[in-house]
Amino acid sequence: MPSILGDCKCRHPEEGETTHWGGNQVVVLVEEKTHRKMEGIIEISDGRPLEHALVEIFDHPEYLLDQSSSPKRDHPEQKRLAVCRTAADGKFCLRDLPSGKYELRSSIDSGWNVTHVYVVLDKKAGQDKALRVLMELGT
């Protein structure tokens, strides 16, 4: 798969826009492999790209690994480092992040479950494969 950085049409969200808490489920995913770039595609569970999804990157994602913690609450020690909205093709690309551990959070309007992804970025040794994040309507 070619790199999507060249054709990424990620858009800036509205000023002050933050996570859209919507559905009633908490979706937490942990990427098993490291990545070189914070880029990918947000899709609906049937594989169609999701336009207008808000993609946020936060530092201090460790709470996602704690089964007793609830991702539905913002954690005060977290800082949002980057943000964009996906274009019609569902793609996002967030450049200039140093190697490290991050929370990628995707959300869109009410009724959708917020998806949290624990991602390790390693610009030298990570895989060059794009992230694929599936979002689902709440139940």
| Tokens coding 110 | 């009410």
3-state secondary structure of 106: strand
**Quick one: what percent of the chain has pLDDT higher than 70?**
87
User: Could you report the per-residue pLDDT of 70-93, keeping only the tens digit for each?
Assistant: 666 666 678 999 999 998 999 999
| Domain chopping of the chain, boundaries | 7-135
Spatial distance between the Cα atoms of 132 and 86, rounded to a whole number of angstroms: 13
pLDDT the model gives residue 117: 94
pLDDT the model gives residue 34: 92
pLDDT at 98 over 90: yes
| Tokens coding 64 | 């996602």
Local structure of residue 6 (DSSP, 8 states): G
**CATH tag, 7-135:** 2.60.40.1120
To 5 degrees, how large is the angle CA 134–CA 123–CA 70? 40
Spatial distance between the Cα atoms of 45 and 27, rounded to a whole number of angstroms: 12
pLDDT the model gives residue 1: 29
Question: Per-residue pLDDT averaged across 55-61, rounded?
Answer: 94
